[in-house]
Chain A
Amino acid sequence: MLLIPCPWCGPRDETEFHYGGQAHVAYPGNPAALSDEEWARYLFFRDNPKGAFAERWNHSAGCRRWFNAVRDTADNEIRAVYRTGEPRPVTA
């Protein structure tokens, strides 16, 4: 099980969290101007890197806040956590 350090509550079991997918996916500035293909890309297409991946988590059984975490998809290590609105920290 992952031990995820919530930026508010500290390290907690993975079972207390909900996954929220890739972080920093910006909402289109003018959604109406998008073609169907562009809209589909915004909705469904996500990065799938091997290595550091910024993703959203929700501490649903604790403080119920959304936050971002940089997780290494190869070894599941959480490299950094940061609150919503904060920039992604530089990780090795």
Chain B
Amino acid sequence: MTAEERRSPLAAFADRFDAAAKSGNLRLTDLPFRTQLNLRVDTGGGVAAGLEAALGVPLPAEPNTVSATTAGSGDLTVTWLGPDEWLVLGPPDLAQEPLHRAVQEAAGDQHVSLVDVSAQRTTLLVAGPRARDLLAHGCGLDLHPSVFGPGRCAQTMLARAQVVLVAQPDGFHVLVRASFAAYLAEWLLDAATEYL
């Protein structure tokens, strides 16, 4: 598919997001087409160090944490999804081919899978002073910065939709299934009424 044909699942919300930002309390921003790679590997096999070198980012071992780099292969963030599962996040134009090759070489004869799942989820940035309050309307997690500050991530439910939350210095990246994105955007805009 060419770049001209790609359309963000949240493209139709651009105007309403802009209008919501006028209050200064909230900033909803569509960050479409970000590269997402699902990495599955059993780190017990001693292959982790090689993979970390290939990716240029350590694989976070502690549950619900992220590690990031801006050096090496590019602007990569690795979020913990499970004890043997990580989500590698990068910019939309990330060159995947060298990454796949490097991971394959590092894996040797071990079982490692690196799968492009960029089309599964789209990214929504929820930022601003009331971002935490807005998400708290539909999320059971403690999102206080002392508990869920930068460097933390979580797979959880937001307004009954499965999401991956990644804490950012100024808010949260909400990774939501493309088919749920419009629903979640509607829900967030509705929940945000009192802050606008």
- Enumerate chain A interface residues (CB-CB to B < 8 A): 8-10, 12-13, 15-16, 61-65
Nearest A residue to B163 via CB reads A61
Cα distance, A38 to B82, chains bound together (Å): 37
Q: Interface SS of chain A: helix, strand, loop or mixed?
A: loop
When the two chains form their complex, are residues B154 and A9 in contact, meaning their CB atoms are under 8 A apart?
Answer: yes
Report, as a range, how many residues of chain B touch the other chain: 10 to 19
Given A8-B83, A13-B140, A63-B63 contact (CB < 8 Å): yes
When the two chains form their complex, are residues A15 and B63 in contact, meaning their CB atoms are under 8 A apart?
Answer: no
What is the number of contacts between chain A and chain B, taking CB atoms within 8 Å? Answer: 36
Q: Interface SS of chain B: helix, strand, loop or mixed?
A: strand
Cα distance, A62 to B81, chains bound together (Å): 8
Nearest A residue to B140 via CB reads A13
Q: Which of B63, B85, B157, B162 contacts A9 (CB 8 A)?
A: B63
Given A8-B63, A9-B63, A10-B64, A62-B156 contact (CB < 8 Å): yes
When the two chains form their complex, are residues B156 and A65 in contact, meaning their CB atoms are under 8 A apart?
Answer: no
Cα distance, A3 to B18, chains bound together (Å): 37
Nearest A residue to B83 via CB reads A8
